[in-house]
Structure 1
């Protein structure tokens, strides 16, 4: 090539306008420019390796494939150099003189590496630094598919921090001459030939970018700042990245490696690097997917969860990479919130972007990846629950509270329901856990319902009056201890032909169909002649309670307790009703039905007193005591002073009667 004179060219597009958009709109923070330039350098090295792999002759074949970043603080120059394919004079004009021209895209097309699969919108954001006229050779291998650049815009992000940019490049073609491209980004650029002895920074092969840093961007002349940017955005690129002579990217991209070649220790080390945890992960999920979208993912389940509403609760999501280049940390579209305990990375080949890596262009691709990742995680948990119940129980105790948020994931409803765990009346203590399938396996013959009860703890659940008939009939009940649990049950509604029902809504006729399994001494039935008298007692109790209750009636669910409160319409459980009232800031006490156990000694004695004298003060005192004690069990008694005062009075009377009976 004959020596070319210094030439000045106008940009082929409305550069001033486009550069303004690029430098002020597309990128939300200026450090992104270094990610773009390093990615372009990686492109150039990928292309050179592609040519070498098929036996093409290249200039300076013994040069190492690396990227170097150096700083001249006095001259305020930042240099990014690579030993990749470089560019000819015409390629400098074509690729750096036109916004949105991507040599990487053209490279992929010319060598048949697109396979027509990316036509849906495969524009990622790389500059044209690595654009090269390739030595021609048939039968190109496909390992150049890792080339990132496809849209030729990222290079111009350098003008966010530089007022002048000088690009010196020598093509990998044997005998190529170096040329320099220079511009201040205002509307024109110049290209000139560089004699071998005329520029100390002319590369033997590849490209050197010299960015003359603006006064307000001096931070990008600091070594520690450059190292931090590389580690954040480009840490997993396959080529060494040297900052002031020291390699920065030393952590391998394990997710790109075949699973069989990665050791447990490597997984543990990467987990610690990613999460800053001091221990090993509970579970490791390493997947490679080709359809419906192509991606690899390396995910971990930590041994411990974080508080549902604690500090850092919003810090979740998978790190999103495109061909080893970080696009976004903690992307929340790749996993639903109920799997937010999962930590890891996703690296895709198919992600369409607009002309900034920071703004995703085609959310449909992200949705497809997210759907697939979710299924992969749930599938792994299913295998774990089937193969190692103790390890799954450890997972549940660490992450069960967050996992329950999945009750709104209709697409994975059956998988979600199968992974739920609850303590039940079947267990000996509060540590026991059962799945819904375990419950169904223990169900009584003819049972078509899964029963549950909400309570703050196991003891409260066991002592709840509504549980008495289930204990009597030998029917297992799920114990729900968390406020979200009832929302989960309501959302599911049923599981494998079994309806999920609260014990409060149990139908007496349905339960009577099951034989009694609890042996106990039954009280003498109420005499037929006493039935009208008991009805009169119920009427008197309703009169005394007034509009505090909607009705006082005989209970068919109680065996040990004297009374309980029941919702009149049976539509909402008491615990759900309390939650709704808290959400609505409603402090009123709901009007309910008071059910009484007419076989209980308290009611039999009260009947005797009422028959003797309906106006006896003991009838009123006992009625109020039963009502307020039931309110207390339901969690609605705001002021217990009257209850306690009345209780002391009854104890005083009972103590006197006891002393008289015992003749003390």
Structure 2
């Protein structure tokens, strides 16, 4: 295969993250150790795809060797297994970059998410993409010999490591382009030095890749003596998406998903479609079952693999899937795009926009079907990806109604914080005299379910949607109605529950408002411009006072969201509402001493601010007022 040369030999240390990944991976993935072969063959397939793409503009790269392939061979006596390809290969700097470091952004964040629970960590490690390093699950020594398609015979490179703290790299000669990976198997892993075992693993994991996988096999005569040795193809070597759906098993779809996503979990569902007519393309889209560790990094690469006329063009082609569906995996193979298409050309291409619309529509249909037919699977999807899907209400106006149908919430009818109620579920449970969908945003489920804003709704048996994800209040600025019903925040000043009251109740409240008008004026005079207004309210039962925001003013949760993002949020001016039927308000109203009256105001507004914001504007005033009131009672 190669002849070693002694020049330019270096010993280099692994990046610290590589050491950590190797250690975690070997232990976390050992129970599924055979995936090392899937990963290495998948890398070889990618190398072939990249060469095929480069050859579009430089046909000489094939160098009379256009039959791209992967070859497996083993030596029982030496205890080695070799995986060879004739793909694009690597030069010295590329080997150091790809095999000595982890170049992904967010690597530190990835390691922070590891829990030391091997089952959970194996899922995360799979999402991170172990690729080449999986070799060390079965090998205690790995040698890589690679020659770039752009390099000469004497410019090949050999990389060698025991998978501990360092590796060596040196120049060698290699006649053919491509990469040979030589695994020196651990004693207990010699099962992979077996023709039948290798065929079994390739058949299970790599039958679907688009290039042939060969194994060096020796025929024997009737007496069991070697007769003839040759390379034998052991996979179908037909790209899975080009085959008829009726010929593809569930297991093959699942394994292909793992091949393109490097995820170890099976997908929740998929959609395989071939479209002919105005446009000719094939799409194969998967909904993962687990969120990637970098899901909330909107700048992280995402998107589908792009093929044109079955030639691989690029990974992570984000032009075919909107950002709020960045969790989707899969590919699109178009006959209508040029083979030399670039990301820049894709950006403004009409075919691209049409394919993006089609993939978005197909994805939303998949999710709708899942939500209608398998509630458990859809709930699993929502728990993983629900917050990201919410972004679509702002990003994708044309599909706003479809996205709204897919949302799930917790409500006051739930006995837990599980978000499993759709807006349609809510409408079905509404009483005939209710024409509004009521909701409340808060920091957490606990804060929401215990909010004083809910008191009248609970007493009247009116269901309220509870929203406590950070994105919710921002989302609700784009979702103002659903199926003709207005969505109303119950922490806004324009809340009107009079439709649920009798004429007698309304008359009684009007009378009470008149009686407390002087109290309201005294509070206004004291608070001055600290609040936007002071009013009486009848939506409380056990709480003396609350603060609300004007219907056109930014809400508390939005202000917190902006502050958390480091943006300057405008000051929120609250409306202070008092409950005239509460004992403390009545006691305050009867207080003739102005200083004591003001202490009551400070105590009540401090309490209301604490309930609404989780903090007070001036804790010293609240403490002083509370101490003065307690001192008077004592």
Query: TM-score of the superposition, structure 2-length normalised?
Result: 0.62
Conserved 8 A contact 1:457-1:481? yes
Given that 2:550 and 2:575 are in contact with CA atoms closer than 8 Å, whether structure 1 keeps it comes out as yes
CA distance in 1, matches of 2:430, 2:291: 33
Query: Aligned equivalents of 2:328 and 2:499: distance in 1?
Result: 46
The one of 518, 534, 544 equivalent to 1:552 is 534
Q: Report the CA distance between 1:624 and its aligned residue.
A: 0.4
- In structure 2, the residue matched to 1:438 is 425
Q: CA offset at residue 526 of structure 1?
A: 9.0
Quote the offset at 1:409 in angstroms. 0.6
Deviates more, 1:623-632 or 1:499-508: 499-508
Superposition deviation, residue 601 in structure 1: 0.5
- Could you tell me whether the CA contact under 8 Å between 2:544 and 2:579 is conserved in 1? yes
Deviation at 1:604, TM superposition (A): 0.8
Q: Given that residues 559 and 569 in structure 2 are in contact (C-alpha distance below 8 angstroms), is that contact kept between their aligned partners in structure 1?
A: no
Q: Is the 8 A contact 1:426 1:476 kept in 2?
A: yes
**Mapped pair 1:491 → 2:478:** yes
Which residue number in structure 2 is paired with residue 449 of structure 1?
Answer: 436
Name the structure 1 match of 2:319. Answer: 333
- 1:349 is matched with 335
Counterpart for residue 252 of structure 2: 266
Preserved contact between residue 227 and residue 248 of structure 1 (Cα < 8 Å): no
2:107 matched residue in structure 1: none
Q: How does 1:467-546 map to 2 (within 5 A)?
A: 467-505=454-492, 507=494, 510-514=496-500, 534-546=516-528
How far does the alpha carbon of each residue in 1:243-265 deviate from its partner, in whole angstroms, 9 at most, with x for none? 99797987652212222221122
Distance 1:67 1:632, change over 3 A: closer
Q: Distance in 2 between matches of 1:527 and 1:321?
A: 70
Instruction: Determine the structure 2 residue equivalent to 1:595.
Output: 577
Q: 1:223 to 1:479 in 2, by over 3 A?
A: farther
Aligned-residue offset at 1:227? 6.6
Partners of 1:452 and 1:356 in 2: CA distance: 46
The change in CA–CA distance for 1:292 and 1:485 in structure 2 (over 3 A counts) is farther
Hey, what's the Cα distance between the residues in 2 that align with 1:294 and 1:313? 31
Whole-Å separation in 2 of the counterparts to 1:338 and 1:80: 38
TM-aligned CA distance change 1:576 to 1:379, over 3 Å: same
Is 1:255 matched with 2:255? no
Report 1:179-258 matches (<5 A): 221=174, 225-226=178-179, 236-237=209-210, 252-258=238-244
- The 1-side partners of 2:486 and 2:257 are apart by 41
Q: Does 1:633 align with 2:611?
A: yes
The two structures, once aligned, show a CA RMSD in angstroms of 4.3
How many residue pairs get matched? 457
Change in 2 beyond 3 A, CA 1:643/1:368? same
Per-residue deviation, 1:614: 3.4
CA distance in 2, matches of 1:501, 1:332: 35
The Cα shift of 1:277 comes to 2.2
Cα deviation, residue 423, structure 1: 0.9
Match of 2:305 among 291, 294, 319: 319
Q: Classify 1:507/1:547 alpha carbon distance in 2 versus 1 (closer, same or farther; 3 Å).
A: closer
Answer whether contact 2:308 2:338 (CA < 8 A) is retained.
no
User: In the aligned structure 1, how far is the partner of 2:214 from the partner of 2:57?
Assistant: 11
Q: State the match for 1:161 in structure 2.
A: 150
Using the TM superposition, give the Cα deviation of residue 425 of structure 1 relative to its aligned residue in structure 2, in angstroms: 1.4
Name the counterpart of 1:418.
405
SS at match of 1:622: helix
With over 3 angstroms needed to count, the CA separation of the structure-2 counterparts of 1:535 and 1:40, relative to structure 1, is: closer
Deviations 1:27-55 (A, max 9, x none): xx9995554549999xx9xxxxxxxxxxx
Report the secondary structure of 1:504's partner residue: coil
1:357–1:406 Cα change, 3 Å: closer
The question of whether the paired residues in 2 share the 8 Å contact of 1:566 and 1:595 is answered with yes
Aligned-pair CA distance for 1:541: 1.8
| Structure 1 unaligned residues grouped into runs of 5+ | 1-28, 45-64, 71-78, 82-158, 163-211, 229-234, 517-521, 657-664
- Structure-1-length-normalised TM-score: 0.60
Larger radius of gyration: 1
